[in-house]
Amino acid sequence: MSSVTVRVPAKVNVQLSVGPLREDGYHDLVNVFHAVSIFDEVVAKESESITVQVNGKWSDQVPTDDGNLAIRAARALAKHAGRTYGADLVIQKEIPVAGGMAGGSADAAGALVACNELWGLGLPFEDLMEIAGDLGSDVPFSLLGGTAVGTGRGEQLCELPTGGTFHWVFALADGGLSTASVYAECDRLRAASGAEVPWPQLNDSLMEALGTGDAYALGAHLSNDLQAAALNLRPELAPTLDSGRQHGALGAIVSGSGPTCAFLAIDATHARDLALSLTTTGAAHTAVAAHGPVQGATLV
């Protein structure tokens, strides 16, 4: 096999509860991931070395050296297999870079699946998940897809049943936000308030809404403990969230560490109308309708 193509989705966090800062610099999380129909494609081609090329939207913002998570994923897979392998990785970007939608993690998951197939390793899904967890907190979910709750740093996953399809609109912002800087701002704001940070807990009402497919209930229970920090760093996101609510969004939230804003719609028609309203009013320069849950990294 000389070439393998894998499609891998973006994610939105419908609940992101962040616990106190740990001694190792991480936080314990309750992180409810939901995979949505915005996809990157990762193509792995035969080669004597591991390289990456990035095409499409935001390609100029993606590193092509050792800082690229897809390269690190391919190298980690080769090391796990105990041999030297090569692959030219070509990434077609549609997921925003540094947008809070796990674009880099998605590419890493795509590289794992593509290189496992290209190199004929035949490693089971469980092995790929183990490697993914070492690469980053969001990479295992990019492999799994669907809807799942992540605990620990977010990498310990449990699949959640979802009773239907949810329709979303994502307002894409100019420029990205560093996940590390948003967490640091969250810690700073908490320290300044002096309030005790509670241990993160899964929202039972949100779980029920997901299980029954009730978009209205889900919209009422969307939550993100990083949102205040993201809005502090990017105050212009607040009017975007307000505009989505004014145009009938069932819920409006910053996705992950931002700056992408996510809006839950009633159905596909409402999502298209909402995306159009956000762009024509200038609340967002780009708004994309999508649905979820969708599968994780998948051979195509």
What is the per-residue pLDDT across 48-57, written as a single tens digit (0 to 9) for each? 999 999 999 8
Which of 61, 149, 47 has its CA nearest to residue 107?
Answer: 61
**289-299: average pLDDT:** 98
Same domain? 43 vs 112: yes
Structural domain contains residue 298: no
pLDDT of the residue at 156: 86
- Output 151 or 118, whichever has higher pLDDT: 118
Structural domain contains residue 300: no
Same domain? 174 vs 273: yes
Range of 107's domain? 3-160
What is the per-residue pLDDT across 24-37, written as a single tens digit (0 to 9) for each? 888 999 999 999 99
Strand residue runs (E) in the chain: 3-21, 27-46, 50-56, 87-93, 147-151, 156-159, 166-172, 223-224, 251-254, 261-265, 286-292, 298-299
Same domain? 287 vs 252: yes
Class of residue 86 by CB neighbours under 10 A (exposed 0-12, middle 13-18, buried 19+): middle
Mean pLDDT of the chain: 95
Residues with catalytic function: 11, 138
Q: Give the angle 35-36-40 at the CA atoms, nearest 5°.
A: 95
Q: Which residues of 110-143 are buried (b: 16+ CB within 10 A; e: fewer)?
A: bbbbbbbbbbebebeeebbbebbbebbbbbbbbb
**154-175: average pLDDT:** 91
Same domain? 142 vs 14: yes
Same domain? 88 vs 193: no
- Residue 105 assigned to a binding site: yes
The pairing of strands 147-151 and 27-46 is antiparallel
Boundary-marking domain end, from 140, 160, 180: 160
The rounded distance, in Å, linking the Cα atoms of 1 and 14 is 39
Same domain? 175 vs 121: no
The rounded distance, in Å, linking the Cα atoms of 131 and 76 is 7
Structural domain contains residue 297: no
Q: Pull the structure tokens for residue 97.
A: 């870079």
Boundary-marking domain end, from 145, 160, 175: 160
CATH code where residue 49 lies: 3.30.230.10
CATH code where residue 190 lies: 3.30.70.890
pLDDT of the residue at 98: 83
Same domain? 142 vs 221: no
What is the per-residue pLDDT across 246-268, written as a single tens digit (0 to 9) for each? 999 999 999 999 999 999 999 99
What is the per-residue pLDDT across 124-139, written as a single tens digit (0 to 9) for each? 999 999 999 999 889 9
The rounded distance, in Å, linking the Cα atoms of 48 and 238 is 48
- Residue 103 assigned to a binding site: yes
- Residue 44 assigned to a binding site: no
pLDDT of the residue at 57: 81
Structural domain contains residue 9: yes
The pairing of strands 166-172 and 156-159 is unpaired
pLDDT of the residue at 176: 85
Q: How crowded is the C-beta side of 34, counted as CA atoms within 13 Å?
A: 30
Same domain? 112 vs 171: no
- Residue 102 assigned to a binding site: yes
Distances (CA, A) of 159 to 31, 77, 245, 249, 295: 12, 24, 29, 26, 12
Boundary-marking domain end, from 94, 128, 160: 160
Find residue 10's DSSP bridge partners: 36
Cis ω on the peptide bond leading into residue 293 (within 30° of 0)?
A: yes
- Residue 99 assigned to a binding site: yes
Number of domains in the chain: 2
Find residue 7's DSSP bridge partners: 41, 298
Same domain? 59 vs 20: yes
pLDDT of the residue at 173: 86
Structural domain contains residue 24: yes
Which of 7, 24, 27 has its CA nearest to residue 16?
Answer: 27
**172-199: average pLDDT:** 92
pLDDT band at 23 (very low <50, low <70, confident <90, very high): confident
Same domain? 152 vs 15: yes
Is 80 exceeded by the pLDDT of residue 110? yes
pLDDT of the residue at 137: 87
Structural domain contains residue 299: no
- Residue 104 assigned to a binding site: yes
Structural domain contains residue 177: yes
The rounded distance, in Å, linking the Cα atoms of 272 and 110 is 28
Q: Which residues of 180-198 are buried (b: 16+ CB within 10 A; e: fewer)?
A: eebbebbbeebeeeeeebe
208 secondary structure, DSSP code = H
Structural domain contains residue 19: yes
Is 80 exceeded by the pLDDT of residue 101? yes
Same domain? 140 vs 231: no
pLDDT of the residue at 60: 87
**221-237: average pLDDT:** 97
Same domain? 118 vs 226: no
